Amino acid sequence: MTMNETAPAALIAALLAGWALPSAADWTQARCEIYAKGSDKLEKMVPCTFGQRQGYITITREDGVTYDLSPVGDTPGNFRDQDGHAVHRQSGLGEAGLIFRFPKESLFVYWDNAASAPAGADNPTAPFATKYEGGEYDATTLLRCKAAGDREFGNCPAGILRMENRQASIVIQSQLGKQFTINFMTDYVNATVGEVKAERNGDIWTVTRDNGEVYEVPLAAIVGG
């Protein structure tokens, strides 16, 4: 069996629970976002391959970096990398992916591989750029999104402006190229265009606009890596 790119919910549940997958090598194309430890600034976004066999995980980035993770103990989510360092797997991206905490960096693995077709030559989340890149945003990302009537999700670039108390304003460019802002405040969620309905399920906010567009925003995008 080979994992497909959408990584169904049952498979993600298996990964989070630490279940062993079938003995054949299971893999999927993904995209990897790399953050320095404790930083909200995206350092790099690259296509990658995620594979798991009998609880052992291999993540291979297109830029040549490979992570070989071996499970440790009976508690799901604890690993050692190829250098013997402790690595912890976390939720936080819902069905969109997984987070791995390394001693010096955080690795966000998303099941879509949108970084394979970047929006800009040097910036997959163009037109948004971080302050580190000379832009105005604390972080940038690609959000799962779909237009009214669409069955499948695509990807929409977004720029994130974070505030105190786990609040943020996220500027999104829709699939039609229109920009608008969703504000995730302590007591409410609103947008700069029309009415929105926002529901949180675990670590994912699902925001539906009054025109039928749907956006999935991981809690990690709001509060930081």
The domain that holds 58 is classified in CATH as: 2.30.29
**End of a domain among 98, 114, 130?**
114
Query: Quick one: 125 and 191 in the same domain?
Result: yes
Task: Answer yes or no: is pLDDT of 138 > 50.
Answer: yes
Query: Quick one: 33 and 50 in the same domain?
Result: yes
Question: What confidence tier does 15 reach under pLDDT thresholds 50, 70, 90?
Answer: low
- As a whole number, the mean pLDDT across the chain is 83
Q: What is the pLDDT of residue 5?
A: 41
Query: Quick one: 110 and 13 in the same domain?
Result: yes
* pTM summary value: 0.60
pLDDT in tens, 68-102: 999 998 888 999 999 999 999 988 787 788 999 99
| 206 vs 75: which has the higher pLDDT | 206
Structural domains of the chain, count: 2
Whole-number Å distance between alpha carbons of 159 and 181: 9
Name 51's Cβ contacts closer than 8 Å, sequence gap at least 6. Answer: 25, 26, 27, 28, 57, 58, 59, 60
Task: Answer yes or no: is pLDDT of 27 > 70.
Answer: yes
Q: Domain range for residue 62?
A: 9-114
Whole-number Å distance between alpha carbons of 175 and 188: 25
